């Protein structure tokens, strides 16, 4: 899908994990971040753009063999929108941008293909957001025109503000698959994800 550029956000501080960078913890035979990257590489002809920040050197080393390009967010302490802005500026030109979180272990390439198919079929220029049981999830898909708008004013037109304050710009991909709202914030979350992986 050469019209899709994928951005994976991997710059966060993992505050609820203490000193641990959750993205580099193991789950199955991979790190949490590597699992997400593997799924993302299967849905785009472009190398995945990985946004680094916290522990930049460790993240880049962990992905040294992966087909990715790195963009560093020097303002990662300001939060996720700074990483989205850096990723959108650093990603290759495309018709749409899939923005994924680095801590969603259950996301597989099939889920991403379903999300992208729904976006292409019904988004009509809007940002596609997965919704599970009324809860908004991730990844999201941002068309090029919306990217241009967001980059003009990243503080006030960031993903979260744009999708919440301008519902007319949002296409909801309604699904029952909890993978879109499952992420890892605590060691308990990680233990549960590891157990589910063993049982599946």
CB contact burial 61-98 (16+ within 10 A = b; e otherwise): ebbeebebebbbbeebeeebbbbbbbbbebbeebebbb
Q: What is the pLDDT along the chain (200 residues), one digit of tens a residue?
A: 459 999 999 998 877 776 789 999 998 889 999 999 999 999 999 999 999 999 999 999 999 999 999 999 999 988 888 999 999 999 999 999 999 999 999 999 999 999 999 999 999 999 999 999 999 999 999 999 999 888 887 665 556 666 777 778 899 999 999 999 999 988 888 888 888 776 55
pLDDT of residue 31: 93
């Amino acid at each position: 899908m050469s019209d899709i550029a994928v951005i994976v956000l991997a710059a966060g501080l993992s505050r609820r994990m203490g000193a641990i960078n959750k993205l580099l913890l193991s789950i199955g035979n991979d790190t949490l971040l590597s699992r997400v990257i593997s799924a993302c590489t299967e849905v785009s002809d472009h190398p995945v753009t990985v946004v680094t920040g916290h522990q930049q050197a460790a993240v880049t080393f962990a992905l040294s063999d992966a087909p990715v390009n790195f963009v560093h967010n020097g303002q990662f302490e300001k939060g996720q929108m700074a990483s989205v802005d850096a990723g959108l500026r650093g990603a290759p030109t495309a018709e749409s941008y899939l923005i994924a979180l680095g801590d969603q272990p259950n996301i597989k390439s099939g889920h991403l293909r379903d999300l992208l198919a729904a976006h292409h079929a019904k988004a009509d220029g809007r940002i596609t957001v997965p919704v599970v049981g009324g809860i908004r999830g991730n990844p999201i898909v941002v068309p090029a025109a919306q990217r241009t708008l967001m980059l003009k004013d990243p503080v006030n037109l960031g993903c979260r503000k744009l999708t919440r304050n301008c519902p007319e710009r949002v296409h909801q991909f309604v699904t029952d698959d909890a993978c879109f709202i499952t992420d890892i914030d605590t060691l308990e979350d990680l233990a549960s994800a590891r157990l589910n992986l063993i049982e599946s």
